Structure 1
């Protein structure tokens, strides 16, 4: 009975994280646009941080609760999920066209960030000063992205931003500032309660099953916190918007490594006990592996999507059985 209640509460926590992120992004995006902030800046900041909010709250709460492996497993598992599962599912539905910006800029940044993160954890501890470095890197990344986006010739990337602007403005027509403030408050409250439920019940499930908390974090929690990205991937693939899939997945990975780990590590050092090098190697490996897939004809085929999805399932089986 206790196991059933824990699983039920964990599902409730996942739902709160999902809707909390949705409400936070919707409310803050509308307010930002009403204040005259460009849709481009909104997309690169509010939306990007909003979709990484579930991972951030879970990792911060887990580390404060004395579960550093859950904090790290959440990020590592989410990045593996973002690349192998989300891109794999998206490509299976419909082959994904890859833009040069992803190949030339975002992928190198993701690979370098993954290697820096792995190097920082070489001694089993991510110190606070290392967390500050990662947090500083995400600030530089966001500022540089905004700068280059504003100084490059217009491309079809602007269509996605325009769609975001129209969607937010359309939503704003139905309500006022008060409603958006309520959305933000509801989103933050849902994220906090959802993160608490996820961490507490993830620990209980791990104890009942007799497995390390890192196993739950690398699989169940990582999958749950990646649900917003997965939902976006499915919808975008059906609508033939491959740019949204790759940008969302790769951007989320970068924010997980730099913002989530950086902020969590800046608050207090993260000591890894149960995260092994197979997990780190898988995270770095899928980041490197996806690059030649993208370079080849600049698209992800259904066969490559199936390969990524099979790799993700194989990794999950390995984690559960080790």
Structure 2
């Protein structure tokens, strides 16, 4: 087989994996949403859990597949890189299309939980790995969070304000093929099968790319795989922004970040401990830089959300600029450029804190008007 044929097959494997992941996530979300509404859950709870978590099922599938394939760096890099991509690229792009409204519940509840999850992950990873206890703790917190959302919705339905998901998440109409329980269960199974197949193809192609380009699996996971597995979030948020459903664009990203922190990383650590008998390694570069970039991006969301309870276009552009700078750092690091250390120190020690302070001052000025 020639080099060109091998490259073409690898590209087809990668593209096929992405298509299978996106299709699987869409089918899974459709079936699970209809089933959840059938069971009496409100559209808001379905949006914050089934839809947000369903669009992150791609990250879970890829991370699990990478762990079982012995690619621990790719597994962690995918989860961390997806959160960075979600906040900086997805929110930034959606805000450039139209300023995004932020639901009061996201500001008071979901954003602090998201930031707390990032801090907890950093603390758990101080020893350089995530073991069975760490993964079980993260998964347990995810289940507790989901149960809390369901109880909150049922006990205080008025507390969350207008149900912004009601127009887009409707029960299946009577007589339609997907109104029946077997069809909804079939959609869920079909979605899961596509996710498993897609993740296997994508991991294989990503490892081949990494070796051919001389890049580490961690960098491939932080960039190519992370952006690829975040395509459902891109599609959901951009479409919601174009349709004027601005709350959904933000809620989808925040919910997905929470799921990545607790569900994706937690499951990866448990699978590594049970399936391979070893803890999930946390690559030193990720612990030293990427985890802190993720935390800084999540913390920057809070003053952005509070400035008039919307993400303005200039703030979206700022987020996109940060993502470009982050990718530039990864490229410099891959090439072992002499200026990579200074570039990284400038991002973490000066640019990001200055931005957070600027946003905080803007927030105080708006509050004082």
Which one scores higher on RCO, CA 8 angstroms, separation ≥ 6?
Answer: 1
Tell me whether 1:109 sits opposite 2:109 in the alignment: no
Residue number among 331, 339, 355 corresponding to 1:320 in the alignment: 331
Tell me whether 1:199 sits opposite 2:203 in the alignment: yes
TM-score, normalising length: structure 1: 0.93
Residue number among 222, 247, 252 corresponding to 2:251 in the alignment: 247
TM-score, normalising length: structure 2: 0.82
Moved more, 55-64 or 40-49: 40-49
- The answer to whether the Cα contact below 8 Å between 1:3 and 1:208 also exists between their aligned partners in 2 is no
Partner of 1:169: 172
CA distance in 1, matches of 2:325, 2:32: 38
CA distance in 2, matches of 1:32, 1:111: 27
Q: Bigger radius of gyration, 1 or 2?
A: 2
Moved more, 232-241 or 172-181: 172-181
Partner secondary structure for residue 163 of structure 1: coil
CA distance in 1, matches of 2:85, 2:111: 16
Tell me whether 1:270 sits opposite 2:274 in the alignment: no
Aligned pairs for 1:24-35 (under 5 A) are 24-35=28-39
CA distance in 1, matches of 2:263, 2:42: 22
Offset of residue 164 of structure 1: 4.1
Residue number among 7, 18, 24 corresponding to 1:20 in the alignment: 24
Partner of 1:56: 60
CA distance in 2, matches of 1:5, 1:115: 41
- The answer to whether the Cα contact below 8 Å between 2:125 and 2:287 also exists between their aligned partners in 1 is no
Offset of residue 29 of structure 1: 2.5
Shift in CA distance, 170/318, structure 1 to aligned 2, threshold 3 Å: farther
Partner secondary structure for residue 56 of structure 2: helix
Offset of residue 37 of structure 1: 4.9
CA distance in 1, matches of 2:174, 2:50: 16
Moved more, 287-296 or 274-283: 274-283
Residue number among 296, 301, 304 corresponding to 2:307 in the alignment: 296
Aligned pairs for 1:61-76 (under 5 A) are 61-76=65-80
CA distance in 2, matches of 1:151, 1:33: 17
Shift in CA distance, 141/181, structure 1 to aligned 2, threshold 3 Å: closer
Moved more, 262-271 or 212-221: 262-271
Offset of residue 44 of structure 1: 4.2
Where do 5+ consecutive residues of structure 2 fail to align? 274-278, 334-369
- Give the length in aligned residue pairs: 321
Aligned pairs for 1:87-126 (under 5 A) are 87-126=91-130
Tell me whether 1:134 sits opposite 2:143 in the alignment: no
Partner secondary structure for residue 258 of structure 1: helix
- The answer to whether the Cα contact below 8 Å between 1:17 and 1:191 also exists between their aligned partners in 2 is yes
Shift in CA distance, 225/144, structure 1 to aligned 2, threshold 3 Å: same
Offset of residue 127 of structure 1: 1.1
Moved over 6 A (4+): none
Partner secondary structure for residue 70 of structure 2: coil
